[in-house]
Amino acid sequence: MAKGNVDFFNDTGGYGFISTDDGDLDDDEDVFFHMEDVGGPDLEEGTEIEFDIEQAPKGPRATNVVRT
C-alpha cells in the first residue's frame, strides 16, 4: 500500500486529492479519491492515509483508503 496525506478535500463533492512520494508517480502528480473509497467520516486536509493506486482514465485514483 502507498502512504500519503490528504492535500485537498471538497466535502460538498465528496472527493479530494492525496499527495504521496510513491515512486510510480510523477513528482507533481496527486492521487484522486472519492469518499465512496473511504467510508466513515470525511477526511480532513493533512490526514495521513494508506491506499492502493489504480490507473483511471483521468489519472491515478486511490482505492481501499485507510486512515493511519
Confidence (pTM): 0.87
Radius of gyration of the chain (CA): 11
Q: Which residues pair with 59 in a beta bridge?
A: 56
pLDDT digits (tens, 9 = 90+) for 11-66: 899 999 999 876 666 666 899 999 998 877 878 999 999 999 999 999 999 999 99
Q: What HEC string does the chain produce?
A: CEEEEEEEEECCCCEEEEEECCCCCCCCCCEEEEHHHCCCCCCCCCCEEEEEEEEECCEEEEEEEEEC
45: number of Cβ within 10 Å: 11
